[in-house]
Amino acid sequence: MPKNNADTAEKTLKRKYVFEGRLIKVRVDTVAAADGHRAEREIVEHPDAVVMVALDKDDNILMVDQYRAPLGKNLLEIPAGVIEKSEDAESTAVREMQEETGYKPQKVEFLTGFYTSPGFSNEYLHLYMVTELMESRLEAEDTAGIELVRVPVSQINELITSGRIQDAKTIAGLLLFLEYRRSR
């Protein structure tokens, strides 16, 4: 169990934004730790997002193969996207599915949520299982080059353990989905 926040909380003494972009902000906080020592924390602020395990009627997971510039290569991922200010998480899940895969889910079920990299970022992901998929494409400016890939559920563990799936949100989402499915 986590410790009590009062025992481990840090007090922010100074906050300085060093970068403010379209999607992220980077700040450096000077903090006083619970034991009194001072330290600097480099923090990436990122809006909350959604990630979806999309299951079709043939027991395939809809995944996307897309280029990731920071890595200089393509990754196989489950669909995901940032929650816009005018949206709630569930609406975002529906919109992102339509934009990235061309399918609109008729059933959207919240599974859980998790932080992606709490050592340096506040990004939180809402994980959904989406089913009863109907063809319904929404065009978006940043989805060019995304290829839809259908992966049988039976191949998920092999793709993770072989290293074919390397994206942490995808690994977490798929393993949580498999556990959810086993427990039902």
| Pairwise CA distance, residues 137 & 99, whole Å | 6
What CATH number should be reported for the domain holding residue 168? 3.90.79.10
Question: What percentage of the chain has pLDDT greater than the value 90?
Answer: 87
Are residues 26 and 77 part of one domain?
Answer: no
Residues 51 and 178: their CA atoms lie apart, in Å, by 15
- The answer to whether the CB of 74 falls within 8 A of the CB of 64 is no
pLDDT digits (tens, 9 = 90+) for 80-107: 999 999 999 999 999 999 999 999 999 9
Question: Do 29 and 54 share a domain, yes or no?
Answer: no
84/171 same-domain check? yes
Average pLDDT, the chain: 94
pLDDT, one tens digit per residue, over 128-173 is: 999 999 999 877 766 678 999 999 999 999 999 999 999 999 999 9
Number of domains in the chain: 2
8-59, pLDDT tens digit by residue?
A: 789 999 999 999 999 999 999 999 988 889 999 999 999 999 999 999 999 9
**Per-residue pLDDT at 14:** 97
Tell whether 64 and 33 lie within a shared domain: no
CA distance 73 to 17: 30
Does one domain contain both 37 and 75? no
Residues 39 and 111 in one domain: no
Q: Tell me the two tokens of residue 58.
A: 């043939």
80 and 126 in a single domain? The answer is yes
On whether both 154 and 73 belong to a single domain, the answer is yes
Residues 31, 111 within the same domain: no
Residues 62 and 151 in one domain: yes
pLDDT, tens digit, 9 for 90 and up, residues 20-30: 999 999 999 99
The domain containing residue 120 runs over which residues?
Answer: 49-183
Contacts of 63 (CB under 8 A, 6+ apart): 76, 77, 78, 79, 148, 149, 150, 151, 170
Q: What is residue 138's predicted lDDT score, i.e. its pLDDT?
A: 78
pLDDT beyond 70 at 2: no
pLDDT at 184: 86
